[in-house]
Chain A
């Protein structure tokens, strides 16, 4: 950047506007980063658009899942100065909206869309969406897709918030990493030295290292039959976000057959995960043949149940169309080979629900416990319930 460059002032404005749009689309952003983006832009110069894009991406993006959003927004924002200024104008509440006739994902479209004035009446509506989105049986009309579509900004925020506010801290077991402690097998030499220094080199007591603890491996089995379609998408999104930090997380979907969703869950972006899930599942919203699915889990993926330490979450309404005898055998095997088999049942939202369907009865008999997952409150209790159930002998 040179003195007197007419673009200089505009660049700063553009960067700020662009960063704000990114933030609105759910990309974490702070002002230090925005300042650094300006510095980076001066280093690479404005001669090449792709260099500027790469530089801004290196500075403004810090998660793989945000890259696609960044690139779409960058393309839209810096396509040409006129578009950029129009878009900037759109950041103002009064500006006129401009339709983007493109295949952009909903989050980018919404981030670029004109902002409606922040009025008092808007807040409850937003809250209502939040509550609806978490699977209360009432309206939530727009969430009733038979398909895993991309998330809009509101849903994306909701899922990110759910994962942040409703963490799923799983019970732990001892790891190889150690910490100073009065018990343990290994001596803690820095502690020994510090104490010995005070007593002229005599070791009067031996501080030790105790093993630290780590979350149990998790295996999630999700029912994707027709009766579950309303819950599945958001539950998958929630689990994807809430268990992101887990080192050992396996996810399988079962409908009429078993599908390994673990590679899809390796996607950073929740939308990309849902896309990949969509591509992988051949039998979405069909029937449930839980017994057969569990049988293929046993034959092909038995090793995923790491030495009986794994916590299995089976998400299903128990409306099974398969053979109950097979289901009984397979669930029995699963129960014997994991730490805990927990049945998360969205039908628990109905008062007086009883597992009377054939599949549900078997599940009820074999699972260590049945937990509810139909609304915010039940999700909040989930972690606590799991911890309690693990502690039980």
Chain B
């Protein structure tokens, strides 16, 4: 696949749309700047608003490989960057025992062939035009890991004590995502551009649902977009622990199609609440009466047209 044109905000947004990702103009601007200024882009936002999807879409649009590092509590350098293949090194040492001096053995075992490349190193060594690197949920890793990222994000290079410095020939397009389970270090943020990804507006959500679930009837897609937008809107958002993300509304639309639903009614909404919400309290809160209340203005809007 040939890389799409990305020399303007419009062409970038169009290229993303080709891959099925509907970016609003602010987001497209931030991504555009990240490409032009060669800076990592830090994406924050609620779960399910499409942070990870953006990286996938960008990789597809730019025709570059996507390398993903999923961060988690306890993530260490050897899982993120590189690790020596200790077993192979020990075998090598045993094989050479007695036949060489220790300095030579040490030189031999710290060769690149004993190095296991983890995502960050892979991203540095991807040949031009480079990779799209997704450092996913960076807030789940801890502060020492962030401190390590400073050199990586600032210079696109890493130092391996036994081998020296490895510098990227083609810096990866880097996206970091965070659900804000904790505040990131200022120094990391200073190296990144920043974008807060909000829940999509109704129109964008409708476009996404229609693109992802083409088998849904137009009326149903509209109702899904309206209903979810209303769920997240100010008067109702407080009733739930967590508002559903885009991923949930797409899943919901798929489930409704599978259930042969033509239009939403309170019964079907409360029966399928488990797809929109992932917490027991929230599922229980979406009762039929409440669903009817949420559906009411949507029905009023759609009947005249």
Interface positions of A (Cβ within 8 A of B): 28, 30, 32-33, 36, 39-40, 43-44, 50-51, 53-55, 57-59, 61-64, 67, 175-178, 189-190, 192-193, 196-201, 212, 244-247, 263, 266, 268, 279-280
Least distance between B10 CB and chain A CB atoms (Å): 10
In contact, A50 and B74 (Cβ under 8 angstroms): no
In contact, B93 and A200 (Cβ under 8 angstroms): yes
Q: Which one of B127-135, B189-197, B205-213, B254-262 contacts A?
A: B189-197
In contact, B183 and A245 (Cβ under 8 angstroms): yes
**Given A245-B183, A247-B181, residue A197 in contact with residue B106 (CB < 8 A):** yes
A58 to B193, CA, bound (A): 5
> For A40, A53, A192, which residue has the most chain B Cβ atoms within 10 angstroms?
A40
Q: Which one, B41, B109, B196, B241, contacts A67 given CB within 8 A?
A: B196
Least distance between A88 CB and chain B CB atoms (Å): 25
- The chain B residue with its CB closest to the CB of A59 is B193
Interface residues of B in 190-240 (CB under 8 A from A): 190, 192-196, 238
* Total A-B contacts with CB atoms under 8 angstroms apart: 114
Instruction: Please give 4 more A-B residue pairs, beta carbons under 8 A apart, in addition to A245-B182, A247-B182.
Output: A61-B194, A197-B93, A266-B180, A280-B238
In contact, B32 and A268 (Cβ under 8 angstroms): no
Least distance between B110 CB and chain A CB atoms (Å): 8
Interface size of B as a range: 35 or more
**CB-CB < 8 A to B78: which residues of A?**
190
**Given A54-B25, A55-B33, residue A32 in contact with residue B190 (CB < 8 A):** yes
In contact, B29 and A51 (Cβ under 8 angstroms): yes
> For A43, A62, A176, A190, which residue has the most chain B Cβ atoms within 10 angstroms?
A62
A176 to B34, CA, bound (A): 34
Q: Which one, B44, B84, B97, B182, contacts A64 given CB within 8 A?
A: B44
Instruction: Report B60-102 CB contacts with A as 1/0, cut-off 8 Å.
Output: 0000000000000111101000001010011001100100001
- The chain B residue with its CB closest to the CB of A50 is B25
- The chain A residue with its CB closest to the CB of B100 is A200
**CB-CB < 8 A to B30: which residues of A?**
54-55, 57-58
Least distance between A148 CB and chain B CB atoms (Å): 16
A245 to B75, CA, bound (A): 18
User: Can you identify 21 A-B contacts, CB atoms within 8 angstroms?
Assistant: A36-B39, A40-B37, A44-B33, A51-B9, A51-B29, A55-B30, A58-B30, A58-B193, A58-B194, A62-B192, A63-B194, A64-B180, A64-B196, A67-B196, A175-B73, A177-B76, A192-B86, A196-B93, A200-B105, A201-B94, A201-B105
**CB-CB < 8 A to B44: which residues of A?**
64
Q: Which one, B37, B39, B74, contacts A176 given CB within 8 A?
A: B74
**CB-CB < 8 A to B189: which residues of A?**
62-63
**CB-CB < 8 A to A279: which residues of B?**
238
In contact, A197 and B26 (Cβ under 8 angstroms): no
**CB-CB < 8 A to B89: which residues of A?**
193
In contact, B37 and A36 (Cβ under 8 angstroms): yes
In contact, B186 and A246 (Cβ under 8 angstroms): no
In contact, B194 and A62 (Cβ under 8 angstroms): yes
Interface positions of B (Cβ within 8 A of A): 9, 25-26, 29-30, 32-34, 36-37, 39, 41-42, 44, 73-76, 78, 84, 86, 89-90, 93-94, 97, 102, 105-106, 109, 142, 180-183, 186, 189-190, 192-196, 238, 241
The 4 closest A-B pairs by CB, nearest first: A201-B93, A54-B29, A62-B189, A54-B26
> For A197, A279, A280, which residue has the most chain B Cβ atoms within 10 angstroms?
A197
**CB-CB < 8 A to B238: which residues of A?**
263, 279-280
A187 to B43, CA, bound (A): 36
Least distance between A47 CB and chain B CB atoms (Å): 10
Q: Which one, B29, B86, B94, B97, contacts A44 given CB within 8 A?
A: B29
Q: Which one, B26, B193, B241, contacts A263 given CB within 8 A?
A: B241
A380 to B26, CA, bound (A): 42
Q: Which one, A43, A178, A196, contacts B37 given CB within 8 A?
A: A43
In contact, A200 and B102 (Cβ under 8 angstroms): yes
**Given A30-B190, A43-B32, residue A197 in contact with residue B109 (CB < 8 A):** yes
A246 to B142, CA, bound (A): 12
Least distance between A210 CB and chain B CB atoms (Å): 13
**CB-CB < 8 A to B190: which residues of A?**
30, 32-33, 62
A385 to B188, CA, bound (A): 32
- The chain A residue with its CB closest to the CB of B26 is A54
In contact, A50 and B26 (Cβ under 8 angstroms): yes
Least distance between A205 CB and chain B CB atoms (Å): 15
